[in-house]
Amino acid sequence: MDRQALIRRLEEIVGPQGVISERNQLRTYECDGLANFRVIPSVVVLPETADQARETVRACHEAGVPFVARGSGTGLSGGALPVSDGVLIVLARMRRILEVDLDNQRAVVEPGVLNLQVTKEVAPDGLYYAPDPSSQQVCSIGGNVAENSGGAHCLKYGFTTNHVTGLEVVLPDGELVHLGGGKAPDPTGYDLLGAFVGSEGTLGIATTVTLRLLRKPEAVRTLLAAFDGTDQAGEAVSRIIGAGIVPAAIEMMDALAMEAAEAAVHVHYPEGAGAVLVVELDGPAAEVEHQFDEVERLCREAGSTTIQIAEDDDQRALFWKGRKSAFAAVGRISPDYYVQDGVIPRTALPEVLRRINQLAADRGLRVANVFHAGDGNLHPLVLYDGEVEGQEQRAEELAAEILFTCLEHGGSITGEHGVGFDKKQYMPRQFSAEDLDTMQLVRCAFDPDGRANPGKVFPTPRLCGERPGPRRVHPAEQAGLAEVF
């Protein structure tokens, strides 16, 4: 690839103010929210319209150059890690809300629109956009689509894939397709929309997203319940679920996580609490009132020492701010940390937490736990000091072992942060070779040349030209250039 020629071509498409090729500026894009991996892209492009995005992809296709898409760069699995000989396409300037259809409860947005922006836009009309990752004030809808992002409220309301009803997608060869029914249900044909959401940028770039909006519930009640430890808190969760109640969210934090969050946000968690639950119920008022009382009772029965009930929106917002800031706030109690993301069946929670604590103790490291207790999605924050010899290595090993524990208990290596670059090495532990090859059939249909976000999700690329069937050895493997993990 002639870099200068490509730069000129890209400048023709987006204008010089949309192309970055100077080293210092390129370096600011060399990682996303996961700063452990850094690769300087060859060029960064910032299209402002869907047409520009499409032309950019086409230019990459014509030049035979790989590309990586990036929204706000807040992902935690390295999904937007650039490729050194490729183009980084940043969608942050495509941030218009194109249409809001109140009657059909749909919004059509560009991929750079921030998650929270959607809710802000429709809140005056009594609607909101349900998926609420902790980074929602900065993460982009396009990023949410790529990762199938969840959030605390996905326990009741589902994830991005349940709230995206249409996509305009630029395929890696520059072709434009529309997936999903948009405003109408049950589109004919294959559910390629379902395959695309969560494909982590390996199938193409979404340039327009149609979102489902929900009506704000009549009532919302939130409480903060403190417990002596995570076991008791987990017991409370079991009782709540067992009673047939489906809260909008149940989040748990352990003592270490609370310490960090308190430093950042000053929630005033009860002193000495070993674990805290944030439980939120929403829905029709009569139902919420009744069930909320029951939740409070169940928490006490499970041994809750203190229960704080949010009196108003501000207090409720504070409870949530504490929880949502927990990751980044951990930076205050430790020089370095690594956010892990794993899933286990909810019923395995107490045992897995115990195991994590044991593993951590064995390695002489601390782990702060924050998680979606309702659906078993753990976020152990492995704390370490990179300056101390060997600690970073041990922290990585611990993080990996936590994942293996999740798999042992029938869970998954990622609940919402994605596989990205960080976890592709673990995919063969969760899936067989046939499973991975079958998934890659989809990739080959969308991206036969393997140019969309290569090196992510799958540990070894499938040669799309080969006939499907029992897996053959990849030439790179054969030549000893690549390893199957």
Which of these, 31, 34, 32, lies nearest to 422 by C-alpha position? 34
Residue 449 interacting with another protein (CB under 8 A): no
Residues facing residue 367 across a β-bridge? 382
Q: Which is nearer to another protein, 347 or 357 (CB)?
A: 347
Near another protein by CB under 8 A: residue from 37, 49, 63, 104? 104
Taking CB under 8 A as the criterion, which residues in 322-381 touch another protein? 325, 327-329, 331-332, 335, 337, 343-347, 372, 375-377
Q: Which range binds another protein by CB under 8 A, 222-230, 271-279, 307-315, 442-450?
A: 442-450
Q: Which is nearer to another protein, 198 or 455 (CB)?
A: 198
- We find the least distance from the C-beta atom of residue 123 to another protein, in angstroms, to be 12
> One-letter amino acid identity for 465?
G
Near another protein by CB under 8 A: residue from 1, 49, 93, 394? 93
> Residue 289 is inside which H or E element, if any?
helix 285-301
Residue 425 interacting with another protein (CB under 8 A): no
Near another protein by CB under 8 A: residue from 430, 449, 459, 463? 430
Near another protein by CB under 8 A: residue from 41, 172, 198, 247? 198
Backbone Cα Rg of the chain: 23
Distances (CA, A) of 479 to 35, 57, 470: 32, 32, 20
Size of the site for another protein (CB under 8 A): 143
Rounded-to-integer distance, Cα 462 and Cα 478, Å: 14
Burial of 453 (0-12, 13-18, 19+ CB in 10 A): buried
Rounded-to-integer distance, Cα 457 and Cα 99, Å: 33
Rounded-to-integer distance, Cα 396 and Cα 37, Å: 13
- We find the least distance from the C-beta atom of residue 295 to another protein, in angstroms, to be 13
Near another protein by CB under 8 A: residue from 380, 415, 450, 455? 415
Residue 280 interacting with another protein (CB under 8 A): no
Near another protein by CB under 8 A: residue from 10, 31, 281, 395? 31
Q: Which range binds another protein by CB under 8 A, 51-59, 158-166, 227-235, 474-482?
A: 158-166
Taking CB under 8 A as the criterion, which residues in 56-75 touch another protein? 72-74
Residue 86 interacting with another protein (CB under 8 A): no
Angle between helix 285-301 and helix 230-242 axes, rounded to 10 deg? 140
Q: Confirm if 86 and 42 have CB atoms less than 8 A apart.
A: yes
Rounded-to-integer distance, Cα 363 and Cα 388, Å: 14
Residue 5 interacting with another protein (CB under 8 A): no
How many CB atoms are closer than 10 A to CB 314? 8
Q: Confirm if 46 and 14 have CB atoms less than 8 A apart.
A: yes
Taking CB under 8 A as the criterion, which residues in 176-195 touch another protein? 176-179, 181-195
Indicate the pairing of strand 43-45 with strand 87-90. parallel
Residue 312 interacting with another protein (CB under 8 A): no
Rounded-to-integer distance, Cα 260 and Cα 464, Å: 47
Taking CB under 8 A as the criterion, which residues in 218-257 touch another protein? 218, 238, 241-242, 244-246
- We find the least distance from the C-beta atom of residue 479 to another protein, in angstroms, to be 26
Q: Which range binds another protein by CB under 8 A, 267-275, 311-319, 355-363, 461-469?
A: 461-469
Rounded-to-integer distance, Cα 262 and Cα 368, Å: 13
